[in-house]
Amino acid sequence: MSAVPTTSKPAPRRGRPGYDQDAVVAAAVELFNRHGYEATSMGMIADRLGISKSAIYHHVPGKEQLLEVALDRAISELEAVLDRPAARERPVDQRLEYVLRAMVGVLVDELSNVTLLLRVRGNTPMERRAMERRRAFDHAVADLIEEAAKSGALRSDLQPRVVTRLLFGMINWITEWYRPDGPLRREELGDSVVAIAFDGLRPRG
């Protein structure tokens, strides 16, 4: 799904001007998130890196491919969570706890890319493909919550569909406030999400 084949990924190209594709993508994503994708030009990305526009085209075919690489990284990391044994081979409440914690981990590790993914509105076929993969991921988590509710692992007075969206809100909103250089570690954040989701804020007596 990535425009830049990862199977035959060469060692980062590091001739002059000294930027590999990761650095170009990272600069592009930062500008996309700050100014919006439409308002960001290849010239702005080049300026940001201090290289010429033609040097950028040495690394990527165009702006849409930069967006595609970033979206693919975000969604691939989320998809990978569901493939891990801890998300597949344990009692359903433990699997759900694992998935919520791992989602927080991906959000923190891929903060800029996930931020971009959450803002995509489907303006191009490529954006719609990314949104479709995100929806499939959301549905898989919703199914897990439904399964947990049916098994009696979750309280029965709340609608699983609503619960899913509220939990996604807690997690997705992290992109709005989390600062990677702040004091809050990803593990602590994951613990807090799981603590509220499963046990709430009231002290259990």
Q: Interface residues with a copy of itself (CB under 8 A)?
A: 36, 38-39, 93, 152-159, 162-163, 165-174, 176-177, 184, 188-189, 192-193, 195-204
Contact 50, 59 (CB under 8 A): no
For a copy of itself, the closer of residues 83 and 157 by Cβ is 157
Q: CA-CA distance, 95 to 184, in Å (whole number)?
A: 24
Q: CA-CA distance, 196 to 181, in Å (whole number)?
A: 24
Contact 28, 70 (CB under 8 A): yes
Q: How far is the CB of 203 from a copy of itself (least distance, A)?
A: 5
For a copy of itself, the closer of residues 3 and 153 by Cβ is 153
Q: How far is the CB of 192 from a copy of itself (least distance, A)?
A: 5
For a copy of itself, the closer of residues 16 and 155 by Cβ is 155
State CA 17 to chain mean position distance: 30
Q: How far is the CB of 132 from a copy of itself (least distance, A)?
A: 17
For a copy of itself, the closer of residues 48 and 165 by Cβ is 165
Q: CA-CA distance, 169 to 192, in Å (whole number)?
A: 14
Calculated CA dihedral for residues 113, 148, 204, 165, nearest 10 degrees: 40
Q: How far is the CB of 60 from a copy of itself (least distance, A)?
A: 25
Contact 55, 17 (CB under 8 A): yes
Q: How far is the CB of 173 from a copy of itself (least distance, A)?
A: 3
For a copy of itself, the closer of residues 45 and 154 by Cβ is 154
